[in-house]
């Protein structure tokens, strides 16, 4: 029996998660995500898949974020017609997010093609359209946490809560051959312990191989208490100084809802009654509705509040939803007293770009960076201290006060990643994915220095690497 696992995306980088599991001639993808970052990175999405989409039998999706799900409609457009296994909430979120992604990439492609025509370059084909998304949604096979499903005669899977966003999953895979069985565990994106709204990541005990994300493998987040104090100080300074507006670039799924919940919990403590709080993202508004409808999979505190206060939902109080483009543009006429939550989380698209254009150059304004910023994105440039940011083709001076609040991250940090892996019995081989090379090296060094963690082996996956699953626990690489 031939069993291989090939690493095709999120190798020594964070976006574009994609891994190909082949079992006796059958092929299953773990994630199929969009590559994000610089313009050159985005162009890689237009390259043909390194496999034949017609030969893919199923997709197993860890969660709805675009860097994990964003190329599935392109896969469907190219001939994939099999089931897409994911958590029920992830399927609901993908129906929203992939439709939005189709509109955004179509608009971006049209804009790029105008420039390419002027430079005598071949035009780019759009990755997928809304019809491809509609077909993709039909192929979702929604699952619950803890539900075991036979994907292939030799492959059974189960999803467990990863605590990263609503519906995020750790994927357990049992691969059977005559007389033996191998178990793989794919972490997806791991959340953090004690964060609001979501449950803590589930601990898994047994595995023959662990694929683990490493986004923040070289850093430690601030504690939750310190993060709350940091946010209170930011708002206190803005209020006492009669400052301008506060902008929060936020991922529409996960981070936006977390911020809404915090603004509800700390409204009095942070004196937010003097501010107009706006969620300026139609996709985030739709995602918030999905969060509300799926409250049974939230943590106990969130469920308890929802039951005890039926007329005061914690994601709906004190917030003004901004739907139309006209309403969004009107916010730019207000010079102070606004808290604007808008996408995209990395400042490389969406309505936050317009708000940055009108506020970034003003020293009395604040910008709170509260999520991961991929290399070469505008958000990463801000974090790295750039003096000017190009917005709509024009340089905008960076005079607003920048705050990087790492404690709001939905990704586990180095200590939390190590702790999650440490719960496995017999220290199975560990392969790191979904992290920049520096983060992965930092995590490897920390694990090697720990007396409590002694993995059978630990490596960083390289793009194209192919592993012989049948040889586990030995890591045998194939050409």
What pLDDT digit, counting tens, does each position of 254-270 carry? 999 999 999 988 988 99
Question: With 90 as the cut, is the pLDDT of residue 317 above it?
Answer: no
22-31, 96-105, 269-278 — most confident range: 22-31
Whole-structure pTM value: 0.91
Q: How confident is the model at residue 380 (pLDDT cuts 50, 70, 90)?
A: very high
Among candidate residues 163, 182, 248, the one with its CA nearest the CA of residue 24 = 182
pLDDT digits (tens, 9 = 90+) for 204-262: 999 999 999 999 999 999 998 999 999 999 888 887 776 799 999 999 999 999 999 99
pLDDT at res. 311: 63
Question: With 90 as the cut, is the pLDDT of residue 63 above it?
Answer: yes
- Percentage of residues of the chain with pLDDT beyond 70: 99
Q: How confident is the model at residue 315 (pLDDT cuts 50, 70, 90)?
A: confident
Cα 97 off chain centre by: 12
Instruction: Quote the CA–CA distance of 156 and 453 in Å, as a whole number.
Output: 29
Among candidate residues 448, 250, 435, 467, the one with its CA nearest the CA of residue 346 = 250
Range list of β-strands (E), 94-245? 140-143, 148-152, 155-161, 169-177, 180-186, 209-213
Question: With 90 as the cut, is the pLDDT of residue 374 above it?
Answer: no
Q: How confident is the model at residue 271 (pLDDT cuts 50, 70, 90)?
A: confident
Cα 347 off chain centre by: 15
pLDDT at res. 1: 64
Residue position matching structure tokens 């919940």: 261
Question: For the chain, which residues make up each domain, given as ranges?
Answer: 3-219+410-478, 224-408
Among 3.40.50.300, 3.40.50.720, 3.10.290.10, 3.60.15.10, name the CATH number for the domain at 3-219+410-478. 3.60.15.10
pLDDT at res. 348: 87
**Spatial CB neighbours of 137, under 8 Å, sequence gap ≥ 6:** 91, 94, 95, 98
Q: How confident is the model at residue 325 (pLDDT cuts 50, 70, 90)?
A: very high
Question: With 80 as the cut, is the pLDDT of residue 274 above it?
Answer: yes
Question: With 90 as the cut, is the pLDDT of residue 429 above it?
Answer: yes
224-408, CATH topology level: Rossmann fold (3.40.50)
pLDDT at res. 62: 98
Question: With 70 as the cut, is the pLDDT of residue 360 above it?
Answer: yes
Cα 336 off chain centre by: 31
Question: With 90 as the cut, is the pLDDT of residue 182 above it?
Answer: yes
Q: How confident is the model at residue 310 (pLDDT cuts 50, 70, 90)?
A: low
């Amino acid at each position: 029996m031939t069993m291989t696992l090939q690493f095709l995306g999120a190798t020594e980088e964070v976006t574009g998660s994609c891994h190909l599991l082949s079992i006796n001639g059958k092929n299953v993808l773990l994630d199929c995500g969009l590559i994000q970052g610089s313009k050159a990175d985005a162009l890689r999405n237009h390259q043909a898949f390194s496999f034949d989409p017609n030969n893919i039998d199923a997709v197993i999706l860890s969660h709805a974020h675009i860097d994990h799900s964003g190329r599935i409609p392109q896969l469907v457009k190219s001939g994939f017609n099999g089931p897409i296994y994911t958590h029920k909430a992830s399927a609901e979120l993908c129906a929203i997010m992939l439709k939005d992604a189709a509109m955004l990439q179509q608009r971006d492609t049209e804009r790029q093609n105008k420039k390419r025509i002027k430079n005598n370059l071949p035009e780019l084909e759009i990755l997928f359209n809304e019809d491809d998304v509609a077909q993709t949604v039909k192929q979702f096979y929604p699952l619950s946490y803890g539900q075991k499903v036979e994907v292939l005669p030799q492959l059974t899977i189960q999803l467990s809560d990863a605590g990263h966003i609503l519906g995020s999953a750790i994927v357990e895979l049992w691969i059977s051959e005559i007389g033996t069985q191998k178990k793989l565990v794919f972490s997806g994106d791991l959340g953090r312990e004690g964060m609001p709204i979501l449950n803590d990541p589930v601990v898994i005990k047994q595995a023959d191989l662990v694929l683990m994300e490493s986004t923040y493998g070289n850093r430690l987040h601030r504690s939750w208490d310190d993060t709350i104090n940091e946010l209170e100080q930011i708002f206190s300074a803005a209020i006492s100084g009669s400052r301008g507006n506060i902008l929060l670039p936020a991922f529409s799924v996960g981070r936006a809802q977390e911020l809404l919940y915090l603004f509800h919990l700390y409204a009095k403590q942070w004196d937010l009654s003097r501010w107009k709080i706006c969620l300026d993202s139609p996709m985030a508004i739709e995602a918030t509705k999905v969060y509300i409808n799926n409250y049974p999979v939230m943590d106990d505190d969130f469920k308890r509040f929802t039951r005890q206060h039926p007329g005061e939902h914690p994601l709906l109080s004190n917030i003004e939803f901004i739907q139309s483009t006209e309403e969004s543009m009107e916010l730019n006429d207000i010079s102070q007293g606004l808290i604007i939550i808008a996408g995209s989380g990395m400042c490389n698209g969406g309505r936050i770009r317009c708000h940055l254009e009108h506020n970034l150059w003003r020293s009395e304004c604040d910008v709170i960076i509260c999520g991961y910023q991929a290399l070469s994105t505008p958000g990463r440039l801000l974090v790295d201290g750039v003096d000017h940011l190009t917005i709509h083709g024009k340089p905008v001076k960076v005079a607003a006060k920048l705050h990087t609040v790492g404690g709001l991250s939905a990704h586990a940090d180095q200590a939390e990643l190590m702790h999650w892996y440490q719960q496995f019995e017999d220290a199975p081989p560990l392969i790191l994915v979904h992290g920049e090379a520096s983060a992965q090296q930092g995590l490897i060094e920390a694990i090697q220095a720990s007396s409590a963690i002694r993995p059978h082996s630990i490596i960083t996956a390289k793009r194209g690497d192919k592993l012989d699953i049948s040889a586990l626990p030995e890591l045998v690489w194939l050409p």
